Structure 1
Amino acid sequence: MSANPEYAQEFVDVDGARLGVQVYPEPAGPSGAPVVVIWPAMGVRARYYRPFAAALRAAGLAVVVADLRGTGASTPAPSRACRYGYAELAGDVGAVLAALKPRLDGRNRLLLGHSLGGQAALLHLALYGTDAVDGLALVAVGLPYWRSYPGARRYGVLASTQGIAAVARLLGVWPGWGFGGRQARGVIRDWAHTARTGRFPALDGVDTEAALRALRLPVLAVSVDDDQYTPHATLDHLCGKLPAAAVVRERYTTAQAGAPLDHFTWVRAGGPLAARVAAFAAGLPRRA
């Protein structure tokens, strides 16, 4: 563990990878506050979420932010030797929850995913069950199914996502040319599958679509105004896969934020959204 004025940097080892985990100080107020574990967007480092972590703590929540495998403080760095994809990212969520368990016992815990991090959190719950968490918040998350995009833009989405996948297959890794940072080809393969088909691939022999349909837990699903990558309709498509979950579907608007928004900048204008997440967490059934 290493010290930082804002958070403690810790690490979780899993299957030859090392996941960087930033643990923020407990919020002011009574002990035992609900804990939010944040999973970032593709290619986005955990430290980018510091403003949002501060807003969540000010709203009374304990905060942990994990780097996705291969990003930020997490290893391995994506290369031709990497074979991991969505199955491993989903498993990483469980590894971090297990490592945090002594600090989570008796407290409500909420997974909060942004973009790819939201998909990883959702797939973890589908594959491994919901016993370890009490709720899920999805912010600027969507399935980038090309048919969900308006007008002619859908054809650009289809071409770009499949082109990126073709490059990753050819080179053995996605170099991060203008999108997503450097990524393992398995991650890009699975992401491109969702864009092409509107469905998650089967993972470890599990029909993820069927598992998602059976998922039962409270979900706060928030799309963001002017999101260039996962506009409102892409989250609507994703929420349609959760008929058994108690989904609360909302939009975070520029008027609420008091600032311009997009797929990334909501993190720096997230005070009102943090308050909404705290209210959602407060409404979850109390963990014994």
Structure 2
Amino acid sequence: MKHLRLAETRATQEPLTIEADGAVLAGRLYRPAHAPTAAIVIHGATGVPQGYYKPFAEWLTREGYACLTYDYRDFGASASGPLKESKATMAIWGRLDQPAAQAALEAAVPGAPVWAIGHSLGGLMLPFQGDAARRLSRVITVASGPVHFSDHPLRYKPVTAAFWYGAGPAATAICGYLPGKALGLGPNLPAGVYWQWRRWCTTPGFNACDVGADLPAPDDNAVRCPVKVVAVADDVMVPPPAVWRLMQLYPEAHKSQLTLRPADFGLKKIGHIGMFNGKNAATWPAIIA
């Protein structure tokens, strides 16, 4: 009986299948040793598989939180079938997949307050999620903002110019998907995701260009819980000024701001992706504080 009681109080991990409007998403549920303080869904960045967030999710369970990571449809562990046949877009990932993941977490961990931690794309889509957003008790966005090509520092502009106007569109048109691996840019992405991502980041007003088409009108009242907006000082992909514009999407929420500066944590760099790397775990308490 003693061994059984010990086993029952250990943190656990288990796969979780998520039904998302005709798609099946692969998720992973992390449970703490005891009743969770809150249940947290991690909405990942574009092109970042859920496995990257595993060290952060495991740390959250040690801090007493339940946590769900997952991959968007036709990406990562949720990929199925030829990628060039995918109909996925960024709007579908945000409008359908993110609420489905939240609902799956709510069903798996009933009664716990639900938080959303959104990394990059993961923090942009809540105003389009209606009731799902209204059920949240807290939102933390990290390196998330309606960025435009003009926001990038001069040294980074050649990289984004090639991605949006050079090799990126040319390779996507030829292959029928973004061949991220071949281009040295990370995982492959559905063409619809790339083209919409490109349009949003090269058009003033970001995703407003798709409101009335792929997106409904944003709901200013959808998020009324506390929202913590986290920027990274050395993020060249979504610099702090673009991150601060995100707060305009949450007019009814009580908002707070935090800038992660590498030197404050004894680090040389953090960047757009780095804060969730286990090497930069020193930033994690500040993110969820």
TM category, shorter: 0.7 to 0.9
Residue 12 of structure 1 corresponds to 18
2:55 partner letter: P
* Residues 1-288 of structure 1: pairs in structure 2 closer than 5 A: 7-28=13-34, 31-76=35-80, 79-90=83-94, 91-119=96-124, 123-129=125-131, 130-151=133-154, 153-154=156-157, 157-163=160-166, 164-176=168-180, 177-198=183-204, 199-200=206-207, 201-202=209-210, 205=213, 210-211=217-218, 213-217=220-224, 218-259=226-267, 260-267=269-276, 268-279=278-289
Residue 282 of structure 1 corresponds to none
TM-score (norm 1): 0.81
User: For the pair shown, which has the larger CA radius of gyration, 1 or 2?
Assistant: 2
* Contact 2:44 2:121 (8 Å CA) reproduced: yes
Instruction: Point out the more displaced range, 267-276 or 42-51.
Output: 267-276
Measured after TM superposition, the shift of residue 159 of structure 1 is 4.8
Paired residue secondary structure (1:98): helix
Paired residue secondary structure (1:187): helix
Paired residue secondary structure (1:144): coil
Instruction: Point out the more displaced range, 170-179 or 185-194.
Output: 170-179
1:184 partner letter: P
Instruction: Point out the more displaced range, 229-238 or 124-133.
Output: 124-133
Measured after TM superposition, the shift of residue 228 of structure 1 is 3.5
Structure number with the higher helix fraction is 2
TM-score (norm 2): 0.81
Unmatched segments (≥5 aa) in structure 2: 1-10
1:263 partner letter: H
| RMSD (Å), alpha carbons | 2.7
1:137 partner letter: I
**Aligned partners of 1:191, 1:68: CA distance in 2, in Å?**
15
Measured after TM superposition, the shift of residue 92 of structure 1 is 0.8
Residue 286 of structure 1 corresponds to none
* Contact 1:59 1:278 (8 Å CA) reproduced: no
**Aligned partners of 2:128, 2:264: CA distance in 1, in Å?**
32
The percentage of aligned residue pairs carrying the same residue is 25
